Each structure stands twice: as structure tokens, then as C-alpha cells.
Structure 1
């Protein structure tokens, strides 16, 4: 997949196997997984499998989560991007576009999630011509819920997952995108 998106501070590009070490460092941090099923990555081989899975999504769906790189230093910040959800049902939905992100803890509270989100929404609505973008967050993840609201997502409803954990369902329609 040949696609790079740039923002003032970021380069958004397809994940590569060379990202595995930095991605493993992020995903092995229990704090990063506080609102992600409390399941930090335990071995870099898991990270490599995830990258290969995302690369397969690029081929099958033309989109997937992207490495998010800080221009100034070249550091791997985390991943951001659009995913086509067709491998499971979420809040009664499947075959939908989902926006999501995960950042290394040292990059939290710097406006990076907001900056990347705006770039991805612009790409989704103006280049991919998607009519509806969805997102879901752990109900207690105040920072992520704030970012989604800030970039224009509308809170639709709370819903429980199969373990009874409450999640928030968000949606942004192209017609409402500014």
C-alpha cells in the first residue's frame, strides 16, 4: 500500500515489520492497555503477527491502521487510522468503517490523537468518500472520549461487551463533517 498522509507534526504511513520493536514497547505497557481488555502484549512475535494481519487488511480492504511517526524525531508514536470491520460484530454492527488509535504513553496529552484524527477524517470523507465513520471506546476512557467528541464524532449510545464492560459507540456522518 502506497499512501502517506502528513500533518504539521506527523507522518501517517502503512505499518512495516521494522515498526515491531517500537510497537511492542507500546503494547507491552500495561498502562496503554488500561482500557483495552487489560491484555498487554507479552512477546514481540505477537506484535509481528498483528503487523502482518494489518498488512493483509491493506490488501483486502484498501485501508487499515497506520504507523504514526513524529516528523521532528522520526519516532514511532503509535498507530492511528481507519479499519474496515468485517471480522466481528461490535454493538450489533459489522461491515463498517471504524476509526481508532493507540499511542505510546509518552506521547499522551500532546494533541497528537486530535491531529491524526482530523487528518484521517479528512481522508475518509474527502478521498475515500465514506459516508459514515464509527468508533468505540471504553466508557471510562475519558481522554479518548474527549478526542472523539472534539473532532466531531457524536455519541450514540453506551453498550456492554460480552464481559459486561460498558463501551461508548460514536458516529460521524459525512454530511455532518466540517
Structure 2
């Protein structure tokens, strides 16, 4: 197994087009609590995982020479916890990337999202020529907002996204957080 990044408790690896990864993604995206701020809690079908989700997660970004999404496994057990994202917003430039994460409920509240996010941010600034990390979520998603803050990102703005189907909380809009290289460098020990 190719490992993209390891932390104290996590292994981030590229997704594979295997039944194991499809099973993990299907379980993750079938949980209404996990999907609450994505689509209002609707489960994703196995067919949609195979036809749409997995191909997106398998996309290579030539400016990085790697992918932008990684499966997150617990280091001690190998259990699939979810995924992390650090992908360029422009396929032709590594300078601005989006940070994201989706973890199963069993991993919530244990610091995994912050641990993985911090490690990816550090790797982006040290190895991938990133100049700015951005992340967004629904304004009412306090858990995700707290992860962004604990990962070193700062609140940038409120905005109204285009929600084709409104879900509870979407009326409050979305928020964007970011971290630029100069601020990251000042915070490093």
C-alpha cells in the first residue's frame, strides 16, 4: 500500500478502485449524520459511489504529481475512518487548494479531523508549493468550523452558496476559512 502521509494516529493513502474502498465509502455516505451538512442526510447509493464518488477521489492532479483525496485509515488498526482532501482549485496551479474531510461517526470528537488537516496543511506548504489553503462549510456546521480553526485557518467570509435543494441550515449560508503561507510560517514553532 502506498502511503501519502502518516501522522501519529492516521495513515492517508490513495483510494483504490476496490470493493474494500467502495464498501468504506458506501458505509460513510450512507450515514444520515455524516451526510447532514452535505445533502440533508440522504444516503448515497452504492451505484453513485462507484459511478461518481470514487472516480472523483481517484483523480490525479498533475501540478501535485498526486491525487487530491486520500483515504484515512486508523494507524493502529487499519480501520477506514473516512477521507481527507487537499486539492488544487485550478488543475493547472498548486497555489490555492481546498481542504476538506469526511469521517465516520465513530471517529468524531477524537481529534482525527484536526490531526489529518494540520498534517495536510503542513505538507501543502512544505512540499506542494501551496500558497493558500481554503475551506468552507455551512455556517451552522459548528463541528467542521471548529476543526478549521484548530487546524490554523481563520474565518474569511460568509457567503450564500447555490443549493439546488435547500436543506435544514442552508438558509444561514456558508462560511469560508483560509490560511496563507506567510501566516502559516509565523505560527510554526
Q: Give 1:91's aligned residue.
A: none
Distance in 2 between the 1:40 and 1:73 partners?
29
The residue number in structure 2 matching 1:174 is 181
Report the counterpart of residue 130 of structure 1 in structure 2: 130
Q: 1:60 and 1:28, CA in 2 relative to 1: closer, same or farther beyond 3 A? A: farther
| Structure 2 match to 1:26 | 28
Distance 1:37 1:96 in 2: 26
**CA, structure 1 residues 60+118, in 2 after alignment: closer, same or farther (shift >3 Å)?**
closer
Report how far residue 135 of structure 1 moved. Answer: 0.5
Per the TM alignment, residue 58 of structure 1 is displaced from its structure 2 partner at its CA by 4.3
2:59 equivalent to 1:56? yes
Q: Which runs of 5+ in 2 are unaligned?
A: none
Where 1:99 maps in the other structure, the secondary structure is: strand
SS of aligned partner of 2:155: strand
TM-score (norm 1): 0.87
Counterpart in the other structure of 1:42: 44
Q: Residue by residue, what CA displacement relative to the aligned partner does 1:61-111 show, whole Å, maximum 9, x if unpaired?
A: 633110000011111100012022349xxxxxxx94100000011110010
For 1:102, what is the secondary structure of its paired residue? strand
Which of 74, 78, 101 does residue 78 from structure 2 map onto?
A: 74
After TM superposition, the score normalised by the length of structure 2 is: 0.82
Displacement of 1:3 in angstroms is 4.9
Q: Which residue of 2 aligns with 1:92?
A: none
Distance (whole Å) between structure 1 residues aligned to residue 155 and residue 179 of structure 2: 9
CA RMSD of aligned residues (A): 2.2
Q: Deviations over 1:122-165 (max 9, x none)?
A: 11000002011110011111111001011110100110112373
How many aligned positions are there?
171
List alignment gaps of at least 5 residues for structure 1.
Answer: 88-94
**CA 16–59 in structure 1, closer or farther in 2 if over 3 Å, else same:** farther
